Chains A and B, each alone.
Chain A
């Protein structure tokens, strides 16, 4: 600031006053920005409401503007499909053979599961409701990782609902306005998801840190986690239903366990928003206690549901 005034020594008084007014305005603006940042820290509800109100106004514009990008992406994808057709066919055939084997296994397990559930007098989970929504703004910058979708409270979207795509968990709806919703991605600094890791189902929390690959924290002591272990939601502490695919462990060292997510955020065009609220916080279930007692030996569903309570 002093430099500025030195440079202006020979200016007349009104000009000096003018520059003083300029600096005052800068000071006021910077201070109000700081004030807003502090306000956001203190009163999250108010700030979130303002944010959604503004988003709601911009949604129709973004909705239209995002169409060309979607079409272009689809065109590129389509062209690529044609180029890779033979290879793709080959891969799909191999995959189908693999899946056929899995299907047989799944059918056997399904029958077995149904039998066991009958034995345990299991209460089935209520059916979830789905809504599809288009991603209209991908504001996954370097500091915040969220997406805006073109469906809001008018479409039955509500805070706390889960966003998925075909390959797995995307994130959680953290705010809705009548026409728009904001989905906090798994990679965001504020994202915390309780998960099970690997076939032994070690408990951990998947924490975003704004990098492409979130890390596992609060891993149970002594857990043997290896590269390649699958990560899925555990449903512990509510918030997320159990058993949703999340990703695969790709890096384990002393300081950090990184998880590669199944979902490729940059390719998301549509997400499915699922209302699991009724599953995550179930109404009174008198049988659940019995489940816990008699289902202790089963590594599967009953034990998990007892955890979720």
Chain B
């Protein structure tokens, strides 16, 4: 009886790992690291996590959770509330439709897929922000952020892959 409860708790905890990891990456992204210029072009880590988990474990990364993560990001970063939520939900939808294309392909293809999705997502965020404030925010930093986010993908992809495999192993 007791062991069954423990087992259920264990399963629950394991199922929450993708979400918690995404939130952790979100928090890590806003910590002050005291490195000049880094903060303004820092990679959008939650985007990587959402992309990865939606692709490989869509059961553990439902659209509603992605929406909630987006809201949390908007709230903590100080963006108009709803912008990141909208962007991340679109990423979720895009990955879901392209799963057949992306799954099982080489890492290069995966990276390319991420590059396309991330660029589109950040440009969408930029567009929404511009519309919200009714001004043209200079796009040069968006381009930088797109590049850093794409550049960071292999590292975090490897990290998330390790987590996913260890989750699968224990299950």
Contact = CB atoms under 8 A, between A and B. Distances in A.
Do A and B come together as binding partners? yes
Contact of A143 (B37, B63, B72, B79): B79
A141 B40 CA distance: 5
Contact of B37 (A40, A209, A266): A266
B17 interface: no
A26 B97 CA distance: 12
A211 interface: yes
A183 B19 CA distance: 29
Contacts of B80: 37, 40-41
Contacts, number: 157
A156 interface: no
Interface in A165-209: 182, 189-190, 209
Interface residues of A, number: 58
Contacts of B63: 22, 25-26, 29
Interface string B11-33: 00000000000000001101111
A142 interface: yes
Nearest to B143: A142
A20 interface: no
A48 to B, nearest CB: 10
Contacts of A26: 63, 89, 92-93
A138 B39 contact: yes
A73 B34 contact: yes
B75 A37 contact: no
Nearest to B36: A266
Interface stretch (A63-71, A121-129, A243-251, A279-287): A63-71
Nearest to B138: A211
Interface in B26-76: 27-28, 30-42, 63-64, 67, 70-72, 75-76
A29 B81 contact: no
Given A30-B86, A138-B39, A189-B137, A144 B31 contact: no
B120 to A, nearest CB: 14
Interface stretch (A50-58, A83-91, A289-297): A50-58
A39 to B, nearest CB: 8
Interface string A252-291: 0000000000001111110000000000000000000000
A61 interface: yes
A140 interface: yes
A54 B75 contact: yes
Contacts of B82: 32-37, 39-40
Contacts of B39: 138, 140-141, 265-266
A33 B31 contact: no
B79 to A, nearest CB: 5
Interface in B75-125: 75-83, 85-86, 89-90, 92-93, 96-97, 100, 125
Contacts of B41: 142
A137 B93 CA distance: 30
A146 interface: yes
A143 B125 contact: yes
A253 to B, nearest CB: 16
A210 interface: yes
A252 B25 CA distance: 40
Most buried by B among A29, A30, A50: A29
B137 A141 contact: no
Contact of B31 (A54, A69, A142, A211): A69
A139 B28 CA distance: 11
A28 to B, nearest CB: 9
Interface string B132-143: 110101100110
B86 A143 contact: no
Nearest to A52: B75
B145 to A, nearest CB: 6
When A and B form their complex, which 9 residue pairs have the shortest distance between CB atoms, in order from nearest? A36-B82, A73-B34, A33-B86, A37-B82, A138-B32, A144-B78, A142-B141, A139-B77, A33-B82
Given A40-B81, A141-B40, A142-B145, 14 more contacts: A30-B86, A30-B90, A33-B67, A35-B82, A37-B128, A39-B82, A40-B80, A138-B30, A142-B40, A142-B141, A143-B77, A143-B137, A266-B38, A268-B34
25 contacts: A7-B100, A29-B85, A33-B70, A33-B89, A34-B82, A35-B82, A39-B82, A40-B81, A40-B132, A58-B76, A65-B27, A65-B28, A69-B31, A69-B32, A70-B34, A137-B30, A141-B39, A141-B145, A142-B142, A143-B83, A143-B129, A146-B78, A147-B32, A210-B138, A266-B35
